[in-house]
Structure 1
Amino acid sequence: MWLLLGLLLGVGAIVAANQLEGGSLLQLVNLPAALIVFGGTLGAVMVQTPPAILRRTGQLLSLSQRTPLSHDQGIQQLIHWCITAHRKGLVALEQEASSVEDRFVRNGLQLLADGKPVEAVRATLEVELITREQRDYQAARVLESMGGYAPTMGIIGAVLGLIQVMVRLDQPSQLGSGIATAFVATIYGIGVANLLLLPLAAKLRQMIDSRSLYHEMMMEGLLMIADGQGPKSVQLKLQGYLDTSDAAPTPS
């Protein structure tokens, strides 16, 4: 919703400014310009990007619209698992793992339930954390690349439009469409880059950083559980991952 509101505000400001200058909305609608900018940008990014990374970009865009992971809820889960492990043993965490949606955390719980040593658990989870983070940053860079290609495609559209103008200099009545394509393509290229693609890339980077911090916190908590530490120790050590206003009370 917030993304849509920001996009509407940006596009609305451009349309409103055009109206104030005496223009009309139809002047900004040009199919050839849209084909050049959007088709050219998509084609360029397909040339440079493997299909797996393109799919991951789509997955991240979907994830970015969900409610952010709650560090406070994560700590409460860790405390619950810590109490369970103290009462029933680490093997009881296998049943807990089956109900966890997050694959990283589920894998960590399964490693604990299998009785893996603390260092082995740490090594396994760190590899997964680093690998996923790198893959996600690659996916975010796809949008950054598109944000670089779009203005260039707009320039290509402008040049093509001017070519049409030069070809039709002896037909003054047909010059308008070529000039329109030239300038509208430039608007499309710069606009889609700066109002959509680059902001989305920044949003994905922020989400990746937040998810990595959350998973780092969960990994530390799981390692403390594997080390046999109690719920109070888990709570106190992980408080640093919370804002002061979000800090939950220390369990008794």
Structure 2
Amino acid sequence: MDLVTLAGLLLAFGSVFLSNWLGGGEVILLLNLPSAIIVILGSFGATLMQSSIHDASRAISLAKWSLFPPTFDFSFARSTMITLAYKARRLSLIALESDIEQLSNEFAMRAFQMAIDGDEAEELADRLHDEANRIHDRRMSSVTFIESIGGYAPTLGIMGSVLGLIQAMANLDSPEALGHGIAVAFVSTLYGQGFANLVVFPIVRKLSSYADQELLYNQLLIDGVYGIATGKHPQRLERELTSYE
């Protein structure tokens, strides 16, 4: 679990509640279920209208990365590629068939299997690069879905405030109830801004970073498999792969 994400969320929301408390505000006024419903569910519903259930499902699955991030160990991948390159040079490409089963990365396993099966090296590299780009495009499509939720949230917050004010105006004959109603009404605006800028957009930036790391990692694997398939000297291959970080 990514404790940095949790710490950031706690710090961000804690600063809001602390500022409210230091200003003499009541914490209970910041807790409003109707405001949360219109902002969170409303934003998700609006985003779903422009997308599909499939897009939403993939976005929710990708959002898990914010708490349980993927691991892209570039150093380990490079050392593994060099080890396999030496073995392929000493024995043969087919001799790596027993090694690919030990690779934990599905993309790498598929790439090596294609090479062992005799796919022409140039065609293999092109196909793998296309696949890596398609994976990245799917990731970014999910990131865009999540980002759209954050885009709608402030507007839904304003709508929630308007609804709250309409209800508050119904209590014009009761000044005390009117004041409380107006205070609660503006909580929706706070929820909309807070949900977008303290939750959604930071997560979007983090997910985008992970998606870019995954693309770079897959490119390292492709260059490694291509170098092994073409019989490139392991030392030369190692020098070329050192540029990946």
TM-score bin, normalised by smaller chain: over 0.9
Question: Which whole-Å deviations, capped at 9, do the CAs of 1:203-244 have from their partners, x for residues lacking one?
Answer: 1111111111111111111100001012211111111113xx
Q: Distance in 2 between matches of 1:8 and 1:190?
A: 16
The corresponding residue for 1:134 is 137
Instruction: Report the identity percentage.
Output: 36
Q: Specify the alignment match of 2:19 in structure 1.
A: 17
CA contact (8 A) 2:63 2:207 kept: yes
**Distance in 1, Cα, partners of 2:37 & 2:56:** 21
TM-score (norm 1): 0.91
Q: Aligned partner of 1:62: which letter?
A: K
- Give, in angstroms, the shift of residue 177 of structure 1: 4.7
1:75 to 67, 74, 78: 78
Distance in 2 (CA, whole Å) between partners of 1:62 and 1:182 is 32
User: Structure 2 CA distance, aligned partners of 1:56 and 1:225?
Assistant: 34
* CA distance in 1 between partners of 2:65 and 2:234 (Å): 31
Matching residue within 54, 59, 62 for 2:61: 59
Match of 2:32 in 1: 30
- Runs of 4+ in structure 1 over 4 Å off: none
Pairing partner for 1:188 from 187, 191, 196: 191
Structure 1, 197-206 or 43-52: larger mean CA deviation = 43-52
Paired residue total:
242
Deviation of residue 200 (structure 1)? 0.5
Q: Distance in 2 between matches of 1:167 and 1:25?
A: 25
Q: Which residue of 1 aligns with 2:6?
A: 4
Unmatched 5+ stretches in structure 2: none
Match in the other structure for 2:42: 40
- Structure 1: segments with no counterpart, 5+ residues: 243-252
The CA RMSD measured in Å over matched residues stands at 1.5
Report the residue type matching 2:205 in the other structure. Answer: A
Q: Deviations over 1:116-162 (max 9, x none)?
A: 11112112101101111111110001121011111111000010011
8 Å CA contact 1:91–1:115 kept in 2: the answer is no
Q: What amino acid is the match of 1:83?
A: Y
Is the CA contact (8 Å cut-off) linking 2:29 and 2:184 kept in structure 1?
A: no
What's 2:202 paired with? 199
Residue 108, structure 1, aligned to residue 111, structure 2: yes
Question: Does residue 133 of structure 2 align to residue 117 of structure 1?
Answer: no
User: Quick check: 1:154 aligned with 2:157?
Assistant: yes
